[in-house]
Amino acid sequence: MAKVRTQFRCSSCGATAPKWVGQCPGCAEWSTLVEEVDVPAASTPAVLRPGRRPQPIAEVDPSEFTARPTGIDELDRVLGGGLVPGSVTLLGGEPGIGKSTLLLQVAAEVAAAGGKVLYVSGEESPQQIRLRAERLGALHPELYLAAETVLPQVVGAIDEVVPDLVIVDSIQTLVHPDLSSAPGSVAQVRDCSNRLVQEAKARGCAVVLVGHVTKDGGLAGPRVLEHAVDTVLSFEGDRHHALRFLRVVKHRFGSTQELGLFQMEERGLTSVPDPSGLFLADRRSGIPGSIVVPIIEGNRPLLVELQVLTALSSLPSPRRSATGLDGGRLSVLLAVLEKRVGIPTCHADVYALVVGGVRANEPGADLALGLATVSSIVGIPLPNDLVACGEVGLGGELRQVGHTSRRLSEAARLGFKRAIVPFSAPEPPDGIEAIRVGTLADAVARLDIAEPGQAPRTGLPQHGSR
């Protein structure tokens, strides 16, 4: 009888070590080694299925991988048309963000369109799922529930139902009886996911796996899980906001540059066809430090409101706070305003916020952030029909950013009349006037909101004074 050994496997890269150490020898991550039992290989050789004969690539039938719509518009946008038969999709997100709600709605839509759906839950009972389905209006006779955590029983349920779509919530709850490790361990997640991938390819049914995330926001379990599946989706959002973002991390059947937006309501998640209008619906005009900036999320242009508040600080090191923005870029812009434009910022607390829980961590927001900061310092509001788009260098010079035409087209669609952009920016669409400037100082001068050293309405000292 072969001797059973224990080994330690890294949950990040899958490397093994004979004993526990604080740092993984493979990927140098800390505290990622997990103990598991090394099961010896069977002495009897496995019976292999006959393989497929090689064929010319031009003779491969691509119709087998035609996406089928899920009935959820924003999800279909992200997936490039829908779920591909035989594909495996991994959906990750924080607890309570709405993963199960979204997938139950998808299951109901697919069942209503004539497909069979098997919903496998290892975390909730069928009664709990039934109550949620009643609230969402997702009851359908072709939607089957199975509260199973043992992998052979899950495969047996697939044999019985013969579904077009299988949803497993979640992959960390499944266990293989041949392995002695606990559910969610590296070995269990690796083996269970590989088996489900094989079943999906052999049967031609789409499989969606729900994955847990770590406290750092990454998917829990071995990295091989992300390599094995065809698509990796990340469901994000703020618990204090109703907006949810669906991003593509990996997609073998389409682009990874798409973004889906949902709004959480009493009856579940609804698609947001016009996110820019939603972000600007409650915007008030005439407030110093407020400006609209067009950003790009994936391939999608969005208009968001950027607000900056400044106040005289009594601290030796004034506060700098950025929500939805890169704090490092905020510090750089404040230094550029101080050195290149002559606007005093060294004695001011600066708070910058992108309204609506959106992130604008891109260089295209630099110009808008600089103008909003000046507007807040001098207490003069910026024009209400103005958008700003451009990257600011350390010398105060402005540079064009990608997809400027698409950004300005979105601004023109929502009725904005003017856009302040670098000289190199392309011609704007009809209905919007381009104000071309070369530096951040030129932009401040063209808008006539401040003169160098001016800070009349905030009590901030003049530039160079102590």
Encode pLDDT of 2-34 as tens digits: 556 778 878 767 778 888 888 888 788 887 787
Out of 242, 273, 304, a domain closes at 273
Strand 117-121 to 165-169 pairing: parallel
Instruction: Please report the beta strands in 72-188, taking only residues with DSSP state E, as ranges in sequence order.
Output: 88-93, 117-121, 143-146, 165-169
Specify the pLDDT at position 37: 67
DSSP assignments along 7-46, one per residue: EEEETTT--EESS--SB-TTT--BS-EEEEEEPPPPSSPP
In angstroms, how far is CA 264 from the centroid of its own chain?
A: 16
In this structure, the answer to whether residues 363 and 431 fall within a common structural domain is yes
In a domain, 456, yes or no: no
Out of 273, 299, 329, a domain closes at 273
The answer for residues whose C-beta is within 8 angstroms of residue 255's C-beta and 6 or more apart is: 80, 248, 298, 299
How many other CB atoms sit within 10 Å of the CB of residue 157?
17
User: Most distant CA pair in the chain: distance in Å?
Assistant: 86
Name the stretches of the chain with pLDDT < 70. 1-4, 12, 37-51, 216-217, 221, 450-466
The partner residues of 235 in beta bridges, in order of sequence, read 93, 246
In this structure, the answer to whether residues 288 and 370 fall within a common structural domain is yes
Specify the pLDDT at position 414: 94
In a domain, 331, yes or no: yes
φ/ψ (deg, to 5) at 237: 165, 170
Whether 107 and 138 have beta carbons less than 8 Å apart is answered as yes
In a domain, 55, yes or no: no
CATH number at residue 290: 3.30.230.10
Specify the pLDDT at position 55: 85
Out of 273, 303, 330, a domain closes at 273
Q: Using CA atoms, how far apart are residues 26 and 13, in angstroms rounded to an integer?
A: 7
The partner residues of 352 in beta bridges, in order of sequence, read 308, 322
Specify the pLDDT at position 450: 64
In this structure, the answer to whether residues 361 and 406 fall within a common structural domain is yes
In a domain, 24, yes or no: yes
Determine the structural domain holding residue 173 and report its residue range. 68-273
Q: Using CA atoms, how far apart are residues 291 and 278, in angstroms rounded to an integer?
A: 16
Whether 19 and 42 have beta carbons less than 8 Å apart is answered as no
Specify the pLDDT at position 235: 93
**What confidence tens digit (pLDDT) does each residue in 357-396 have?**
888 989 999 999 999 999 999 999 999 999 999 999 999 9
Q: Using CA atoms, how far apart are residues 374 and 337, in angstroms rounded to an integer?
A: 8
In a domain, 49, yes or no: no
In this structure, the answer to whether residues 282 and 406 fall within a common structural domain is yes
In a domain, 191, yes or no: yes
In this structure, the answer to whether residues 263 and 348 fall within a common structural domain is no
Q: How many domains does the chain have?
A: 3
Strand 300-312 to 231-237 pairing: unpaired
Specify the pLDDT at position 48: 54
Q: Residue 163: which region, alpha, beta or left (left: phi > 0; alpha: psi -120 to 50)? A: beta
In this structure, the answer to whether residues 329 and 247 fall within a common structural domain is no
In this structure, the answer to whether residues 305 and 265 fall within a common structural domain is no
Report the length, in residues, of the chain. 466
* Average pLDDT over the chain, rounded to an integer: 87
Specify the pLDDT at position 4: 61
Specify the pLDDT at position 184: 83
Q: Using CA atoms, how far apart are residues 37 and 57, in angstroms rounded to an integer?
A: 42
In a domain, 153, yes or no: yes
Specify the pLDDT at position 219: 77
How many other CB atoms sit within 10 Å of the CB of residue 205?
24
In this structure, the answer to whether residues 325 and 236 fall within a common structural domain is no
In this structure, the answer to whether residues 260 and 282 fall within a common structural domain is no
In this structure, the answer to whether residues 161 and 30 fall within a common structural domain is no
Q: Using CA atoms, how far apart are residues 338 and 464, in angstroms rounded to an integer?
A: 9
The set of long-range contacts for 279-284, using a CB threshold of 8 Å and a minimum separation of 24, is 279/303, 279/304, 279/305, 279/355, 279/356, 279/358, 280/304, 280/305, 280/414, 283/355
In a domain, 167, yes or no: yes
Q: Using CA atoms, how far apart are residues 150 and 156, in angstroms rounded to an integer?
A: 10
Which two three-digit tokens encode residue 145? 């529930």
Q: What single-letter DSSP state applies at residue 175?
A: B
**What confidence tens digit (pLDDT) does each residue in 49-78 have?**
566 788 898 888 777 778 999 999 999 999
The partner residues of 301 in beta bridges, in order of sequence, read 296
Nearest-CA neighbor of 364 among 321, 320, 411, 319?
411
Which two three-digit tokens encode residue 158? 């697939």
In this structure, the answer to whether residues 337 and 353 fall within a common structural domain is yes
Specify the pLDDT at position 269: 93
Specify the pLDDT at position 239: 73
Specify the pLDDT at position 49: 57
- Degrees to nearest 5, angle at CA 106 with 103 and 108: 115
Q: Using CA atoms, how far apart are residues 351 and 330, in angstroms rounded to an integer?
A: 10
Q: Is 203 helix (H, G, I), strand (E, B) or coil?
A: helix
In this structure, the answer to whether residues 402 and 285 fall within a common structural domain is yes
CATH number at residue 223: 3.40.50.300
